[in-house]
Amino acid sequence: MGIIERIDAPKSKNAPRTKTGHVKVGALQKGKAGATKKVTKLPLNSILKMDCVEAMASLPDESVDMIFADPPYNLQLGGDLYRPEGGQVDAVDDEWDHFDSFAAYDAFTNAWLKEARRILKPNGSLWVIGSYHNIFRVGASLQDLGYWILNDIIWRKANPMPNFKGTRFTNAHETLIWASKSEKAKYTFNYRAMKNLNDELQMRSDWVMPICGGQERLKRNGVKAHPTQKPEALLYRVMLATTNPGDVVLDPFFGTGTTGAVAKRLGRDWIGCEKEDSYCEVAEERIEAALPLDESSLKTMQSPKQKPRVAFGTLVETGYLKVGAELCSKNRKFKAKVRADGSLVWEGQEGSIHKIGATVQDAPSCNGWTYWYYKDGKDLKVIDNLRQTYLLATEP
């Protein structure tokens, strides 16, 4: 019988606590027929260490605001895969991703989606992420069970793993399905926050983000702690868009705790379901170290003040920057010239302040307003200062 692991969760006001600040929850009990008894209070900010269907069955009806699910992909890989230089690819070959047939996978999918639908509040929403191996089967099950699909989001990976055999296109994206509990549900969508996040443009359904790497990629003894760890930026955007501070977010496939760590940062309560001891251990350490944002920052993100949009070309045409002026990076390594239409030119390449900033760094994207500097006498100043000066001079 699984138990609920204890994890520090200082922000929740409703969950019972020990004197040390840990959420206090007991082991789930079995009824006479072997069914898991439902808890009377939500085990907020805790991991339910058991199978996800069993764990969700212990929770009350309509008690969760949002569910983010990253289920097994059912990759059905056969044999080892090697890089051109001979190194073996660290692929997903764990037991939890093995299913005997598509029928077995469909039965598993329907089982967890039914429990998810039961515990989801009437105006709650569900996110599921997957690859071409499973997302279409999951999407069909969603619709068959009565969920209403709101969007499909393409996560385009800025740094995907190449196709080493050269037999197919490089698999450079995953698909997220965002669904409400029903067609008439009044789901949460923080449109304004998403527009602010996207530099005052409507947020599109194709998101470019890198896969986990560097310090974010969790490892144990030099080996990936989880083969399909998702970047925190992805969960950050999902939660910021479709939940509010204080909402309860559940992850039925908790893994190494990305959902819990981001929820803690954003002031949301969370519940995780995970039966693998090694993942639970990593998740506990990770969430313990996560620092929540201060309340004023959260309010700003939820209800930001709209500011006029200033194009870089406006500063050129109004004389704040002269045509032919030289901009440079903070370390003066890269220099570009301003043209009449507000574009920059660098070593024969031309484009916006954002595009050229990304080009010189060989990066997928760049905020040109904070990357480029101009000369003010002997000093270098970031060009965003000119934008703020223009706004102050022209505000009504």
pLDDT, tens digit (0-9, with 9 covering 90-100), for 337-359: 998 778 899 999 989 999 999 99
Q: What gap in Å lies between CA 64 and CA 282, rounded to an integer?
A: 24
Residue 229's pLDDT band, with cuts at 50, 70 and 90, is low
Q: How many CB atoms lie within 10 A of CB 37?
A: 11
Secondary structure of residue 167 in the 3-state scheme: coil
pLDDT at 206 over 70: yes
Contacts of 315 by beta carbon, 8 Å cutoff, 6+ apart = 321, 342, 383, 386, 387, 390
Residue 220's pLDDT band, with cuts at 50, 70 and 90, is low
Q: Is 290 exposed, middle or buried (0-12, 13-18, 19+ CB in 10 A)?
A: middle
pLDDT at 20: 28
Contact (Cβ atoms closer than 8 angstroms) between residue 280 and residue 49: yes
Residue 294's pLDDT band, with cuts at 50, 70 and 90, is low
Q: For residue 4, what are the β-bridge partners?
A: 48
pLDDT at 114 over 60: yes
Contact (Cβ atoms closer than 8 angstroms) between residue 351 and residue 345: no
pLDDT at 357: 96
Secondary structure of residue 179 in the 3-state scheme: strand
pTM of the model: 0.64
Residue among 292, 284, 288, 290 at smallest CA distance from 268: 292
Q: What gap in Å lies between CA 155 and CA 234, rounded to an integer?
A: 8
Q: Quick one: tokens of 323? A: 């045509």
Contact (Cβ atoms closer than 8 angstroms) between residue 127 and residue 71: no
- 16-41 per-position pLDDT tens digit: 333 223 333 333 544 545 556 777 78
Tokens 């359904």 -> residue: 205
Q: What gap in Å lies between CA 239 and CA 68, rounded to an integer?
A: 9
Residue % of the chain over a pLDDT of 90:
47
Residue 108's pLDDT band, with cuts at 50, 70 and 90, is very high
Residue % of the chain over a pLDDT of 70:
76
pLDDT at 313: 84
Q: What gap in Å lies between CA 251 and CA 52, rounded to an integer?
A: 9
pLDDT at 85: 54
pLDDT at 8 over 50: no
Average pLDDT of the segment spanning 129-157: 95
Least confident of 79-88, 165-174, 230-239: 79-88
- Beta strand ranges found along 58-106 (DSSP E): 64-69
pLDDT at 307: 54
The mean of the pLDDT values for the chain is: 80
Residue 363's pLDDT band, with cuts at 50, 70 and 90, is very high
Contacts of 377 by beta carbon, 8 Å cutoff, 6+ apart = none
| pLDDT greater at residue 95 or residue 156 | 156
Contacts of 332 by beta carbon, 8 Å cutoff, 6+ apart = 380
pLDDT at 288 over 70: yes
pLDDT at 374: 96
SS3 content of the chain, % helix, strand, coil (to 5): 30, 20, 50
Q: What gap in Å lies between CA 148 and CA 138, rounded to an integer?
A: 13
| pLDDT greater at residue 87 or residue 306 | 87
Average pLDDT of the segment spanning 75-89: 51
pLDDT at 150 over 90: yes
| pLDDT greater at residue 295 or residue 2 | 295
Q: How many CB atoms lie within 10 A of CB 307?
A: 10
Q: What gap in Å lies between CA 287 and CA 292, rounded to an integer?
A: 10
Q: What gap in Å lies between CA 325 and CA 323, rounded to an integer?
A: 6
Tokens 């440079």 -> residue: 328
